[in-house]
Chains A and B, each alone.
Chain A
Amino acid sequence: MALSTLLISLLVTSVIIYFVSKASWRVGAILNFLIGIFLISYVFALHTGTTSDLGTLFGQKLQLTWTNASFYFSAVSLMVIVSVMLFAIKWLDSQKYPAAFNMFLLMMTAGSLGVFMAADLVTLYIFWEIAVLSSMLIVPMGKKESRKAAVIYAVMSASGTYMYLYGAFLAFQRYGTLNISEIAKQMVSDPSTGIKAAIFLLLASAGIAKSGIFPLHTWLRIAHGNAPDAFSAVLSGQLVKLGSYVLMVTVAVIPSLRVFANIPFYSGIPATNYFLIALGATSIIVGTLMAIKQDDMKMLIAFSSVANGGYILIGIGTMDPMGFEGGVLHVFNHALAAAVIFMAFASVVYRTHTKKISELGGLIHKMPITFLAYLFAIISLAGIPPMSGFISKWMIYQALVRKGMFITAFIAFFGSIGSFLYVFRPLAGVFLGQLPKKYKDVKEVSPVMWIPMMILVVISLIIGIWPFPVLQPIESMRADFGIAPMVKISDPDHWLIRGFAGNWNPVLVFNLFLIGFIIAYILYTMFPRSKKVDLLAPHKEEGTPINIYTGGEYIYTPELYHYNTKFYAGFERMYEKHPSWEKVLGMLAKFFHDLGEWVHGWFFRPSPSAYAFWVSLTILIVFWVRW
């Protein structure tokens, strides 16, 4: 099946899915899942270099090409989407609009795949908008606040998209083509730095808005935080990666090092790239600090997505072989981790109907599998071995240190250690600690919901131990883009990942951890058996005090003896009076509203006599100007 046929039939199928789902949403969801499975197998069977025509639009050929980059991004996206599709088969019974959800989810999948396949800027734009439109229509299916979230999402996304569109046509006007690789070729020989930089930044702004990079990051909090719970997994795990893809296209497909070789800024990195890196660094700071203080667990991870988007951008922006591979690998890691985390949260919300950390606690006793999924996902998100998240962070650090970018490195370290802080908050507040009495009858979610989480966790773990299957396509991608193609980073023959400053062997490190764990376990069994303390005793029998150290007091209300509000109070206090970018953007929106109010008040509301006045004034002004 040609690529274009695939995409178009997916779009058509999505409408059919709607009507099927109207009859039985579960059948629709299962069909969706099967289509997803088919897509994965399809994607893996495709050969790079496959092209297909989508038709012509205003004399320009719209083309789809299958490259290493399309394969990588599509595979990651589908992994996330298909897991959510499986998850949704059960989860949808808590939703109001299952049929529309199924339709738009499939439509969004088609749009995303189209973006990754697009060979020219307009095709990319078309599928981009399809993905945005359909995801934008899923967002307001959530709770009350999600309606506003959809609007903010749409506007912020559009602000990036339209800048991109402007840039695309600016490129077309100058180079006479919309084909990305053609433009890249011509940009190298274009003498005018100003226009090149303008095109570069305009194209990048779509990615900036989409992947939640400062200053267009504010929609993530509200949209990821309020979207239907399982869809947040897609938003954060997959849709945001469309932005990373566009950023990669602007930075790497357009060979920014060569195009902007005349404006080096620091350590061989051009000023344009450095500007993006600075934005990425700002996102890390903003995302981390804001994530640490959130009480809403979904918003917490939404801000973490802002920070991780920053990592990806920094990694790719350096255009260093290590940094590039690290940034691209981070796409994979963050996609999986964020998807699992949001699915775990969706499971929690599915059972408890709240997403406030301060209202939860002790769910490990009731939902151990969800807990484990979350645990492994955050290990990956925080970049701790043996999960895959570590590898990409390691690579990005290597690149930053090699380039001597100490301030960016500092921010990356800050984000990394900050991520320990914020991922621990839901762990401690939601899953560990004391279970509030109202949740004593909560049960683990059904296997249909935890299996997809576990699959992603296992994939992430395996890639953390044996990362070469993912590093291989990234390496061929890097070769495609001509970023130091001689350097070999992954060395599967010696089980090594080679950095500029030393190597490491992921298998060995995992084995060491395993040995350490085994030794610990042997020690554990050698010594006397422990007696169990029943933390759920107060739930089982009314009037039983909780059975932990309480300084000698009898405490019967476990939820009050649970530390989950303002977890890092000491640290939060230090920046509680921070300036709010959301407010700044709110002011901008208010400005347009007020401008509208003003225009309305002065020109549209008045009485006929005022109209006559405006008419005469216009005549006078026009005459005055023209004479």
Chain B
Amino acid sequence: MAAYKALFNLVVAFFLVLSLEGIARKIMARIQRRIGPPWYQNFIDLFKALSKHPFSNGWIFDFGVLMALGGALATAMIIPMGSITWTPFPNSDNFFVIMYLFAVGALGMAMGMVGSGNPWASIGVSRALTQMLGYELPYLIVMSSVIFFYKTASIHKLIELQRGGWNLLVMPLGGIVAFISLMGMLGKKPFDIMIAPAEIASGPMVELSGKYMGLLHIMHVFSVFVEISLFVDVFLGGGSFGWYLVKFVVVWVLAVMISSVLPRFRIEQMLKFYWGVPLGLAFLNALFVLLGWTL
């Protein structure tokens, strides 16, 4: 049963996020007064990329891509989708396990791309890792206070415990900080310094061609799924599968809309931003939780 659920996770993630990415392009275009591509454009792009003859920059390049995709797939398989019913592995959906398993994919991608031998990729990876240092800290503090509050790190249990009220409403500060961190995780503007196509030739992606591009796109799809699902599960109370999808879409659209009107942070600006107000709020939230001042 668990295996089917995990597979279902993957299927949902693939179609949901790939469509949402297309929709995002549409939304962004409309905000910028363009018409934009159709919502299924990303499916076309992906299959086009996968069907082309690619170039490989050595075995570590290939291995890195596989590790990245493998890590992202593994993480996506653990993620609960809104309730215990859609939790493939109720015994292992521990928050820290998910966060660190997620890092396998990131490390694989970073390693493969630096293995391409292109300095732009290295610069991109260095920025991506620095950005991780930025957004993860407030996020983890918020998550720690959530775990401390509910006395569990198991995601499906967190969903159950939110029956009385969404976590976003119980600790609004934490919810806001988590959302800001989510923007960084997704690499949405203003936090897309590691890609920065105009400056560093798309950074890590500089050497990607054909199926490598495609496979990493799939990896990205699963990553987005994991990141947003975590937010929805932990702060928006999950709910039935349908509700979960609705919440997922809303969070995504909100993130897209915010990002489409913002310029890009420089790397120091990004760090100073995250270690300023969001980190402060995260600690404030932790203090409130310690003192029992939750709504």
Binding site for A on B (CB under 8 A): 6, 50-58, 60, 62, 65-67, 69-74, 77-78, 89, 91-97, 100-101, 103-104, 107, 110-111, 114-120, 122-123, 125-127, 129-130, 132-133, 136-137, 140-141, 144-145, 147-148, 151-154, 157, 201, 206-207, 210-212, 214-215, 218, 266-268, 271-272, 283, 286, 290
Contact B141 A410 (CB under 8 A): yes
Q: Is the CB of B117 within 8 A of A432?
A: yes
A530 to B214, CA, bound (A): 13
Partner pick for B114 among A384, A428, A518, A551, CB 8 A cutoff:
A428
Question: In the complex, A230 Cα to B65 Cα: how many Å?
Answer: 33
Complex CA distance for A487 and B272, rounded to whole angstroms: 42
Cβ contact within 8 Å between A508 and B92? yes
CA of A417 to CA of B69, assembled, Å: 21
CA distance A171 to B258 in the complex (A): 64
By the criterion CB–CB under 8 Å, are A527 and B51 in contact? yes
Q: Which residues of B contact A548 (CB under 8 A)?
A: 57, 116-118, 207
6 contacts between A and B (CB under 8 A): A402-B151, A421-B130, A505-B89, A512-B78, A513-B104, A520-B73
The answer to whether A410 and B104 touch (CB under 8 A), given A404-B290, A417-B132, A528-B52, is: no
Residues on A lying within 8 angstroms of B by beta carbon are: 362, 364-365, 371, 375, 379, 382-386, 390, 393-394, 397-398, 400-402, 404, 406-407, 409-410, 413-414, 417-418, 420-421, 424, 427-428, 432-434, 494, 496, 499-505, 508-509, 512-521, 523-524, 527-533, 535, 546, 548-549, 551, 558, 561-564, 567-571, 573-574
| Given A385-B100, A501-B154, A528-B51, A533:B56 Cβ within 8 A | yes
- Nearest-neighbor residue (CB-CB) of B153 within chain A: A501
A568 to B134, CA, bound (A): 13
User: In whole angstroms, how far apart are the Cα atoms of A561 and B136 in the complex?
Assistant: 31
Give CA–CA (A365, B93) in the complex, Å.
39
Nearest residue, chain B, Cβ from A501: B153
Asked if residues B111 and A384 are in contact (CB atoms below 8 Å), the reply is: no
Beyond A385-B101, A420-B103, A531-B55, is A524–B211 a contact (Cβ under 8 Å)?
yes
CB-based contact A504/B94 at 8 Å: yes
**Are B152 and A501 interface neighbours, CB within 8 A?**
yes
Please indicate which of the listed interface residues A394, A568, A570 has the most CB atoms of chain B within 10 Å of its own CB: A570
Q: Is the CB of A362 within 8 A of B215?
A: no
Q: Are A428 and B122 in contact (CB under 8 A)?
A: yes
With contacts A384-B107, A406-B283 known, what are 9 further pairs, Cβ within 8 A?
Answer: A394-B97, A397-B96, A402-B151, A406-B145, A432-B60, A501-B152, A503-B92, A516-B70, A548-B207
A193 to chain B, nearest CB (A): 27
Interfacial chain B residues near A502, Cβ < 8 Å: 93-95, 152-154, 157
B153 touches A433 (CB 8 A): no
Q: Which residues of A contact B130 (CB under 8 A)?
A: 421, 568, 570-571
Residues in chain A near residue B97, CB distance under 8 A: 385, 394, 504, 509
Give the distance in Å from the alpha carbon of A421 to the alpha carbon of B141 in the complex: 19
Chain B residues near A503: list those with CB within 8 A.
91-92, 94, 154
Given A502-B152, A573-B268 in contact, is the A413-B120 Cβ separation under 8 Å?
A: no
B contact residues around A529 at 8 Å (CB): 53
Q: How far is the CA of A135 from the CA of B139 in the complex (A)?
A: 43
Kindly provide the distance from the CB of B87 to the nearest chain A CB, expressed in whole angstroms.
Answer: 12
Q: A384 to B100, Cβ gap below 8 A?
A: yes
> Pick the contact of B153 from A418, A499, A531 — CB < 8 Å?
A499
- Specify which of A406, A427, A433, A561 lies most central, judged by the most chain B CB atoms within 10 Å of its CB: A406
Q: Which residues of chain A are within 8 angstroms of B207 by Cβ–Cβ distance?
A: 548-549
Cα distance A398–B207 when bound, in Å? 40
- Give the residues in chain A near B89, CB-CB below 8 Å: 505, 508, 512
User: With a CB–CB cut-off of 8 A, which chain A residues contact B120?
Assistant: 549
Known contacts A364-B60, A568-B126; is-contact A517 B100 (Cβ 8 Å): no
Contact of A516 among B74, B129, B136, B141 (CB under 8 A): B74
Q: Name which residue of chain B comes closest to A394, CB basis.
A: B96
Q: How far is B272's CA from A529's CA once the two chains are assembled, in angstroms?
A: 44
Tell whether, in the assembled complex, residue B51 and residue A362 are in contact, meaning their CB atoms are under 8 Å apart: no
Let me know if B114 and A433 touch, CB within 8 A: yes
Residue of B nearest to A383 (CB): B100
Quick one: closest B residue to A365, CB to CB? B58
> In the docked arrangement, what's the CA distance between A496 and B222, Å?
26
Q: Determine if B69 and A509 form an interchain contact, defined as CB atoms under 8 angstroms apart.
A: no
B145 contacts A417, CB within 8 Å? no
CB pair A433–B96 under 8 Å, yes or no, is no
Complex Cα–Cα for A170 and B118 (A): 61
Residues of B within 8 A of A413 (CB): 136-137, 140-141
- List residues of chain B with CB within 8 A of the CB of A427: 111, 114
- In the A-B complex, list the 6 residue pairs whose CB atoms are closest, starting with the nearest: A516-B73, A517-B70, A502-B154, A570-B267, A520-B69, A516-B74
A571 touches B69 (CB 8 A): no
A414 vs B130: C-alpha distance when bound (angstroms): 11
Residues of A within 8 A of B53 (CB): 528-531
Known: A406-B286, A413-B141, A571-B133. A375 touches B111 (CB 8 A): yes
Given A383-B100, A503-B92, A504-B91 in contact, is the A571-B144 Cβ separation under 8 Å?
A: no
State how many angstroms separate the Cβ of B49 from the closest Cβ of chain A: 9
Which residues in B have their C-beta under 8 angstroms from that of A432?
60, 111, 114-115, 117, 122
Q: Which residues of A contact B73 (CB under 8 A)?
A: 515-517, 519-520
Q: Is the CB of B153 within 8 A of A535?
A: no
Structural contact, B115 and A516, CB atoms closer than 8 A: no
Q: A424-B110, A501-B154 are in contact. Are A533 and B57 (CB under 8 A)?
A: yes
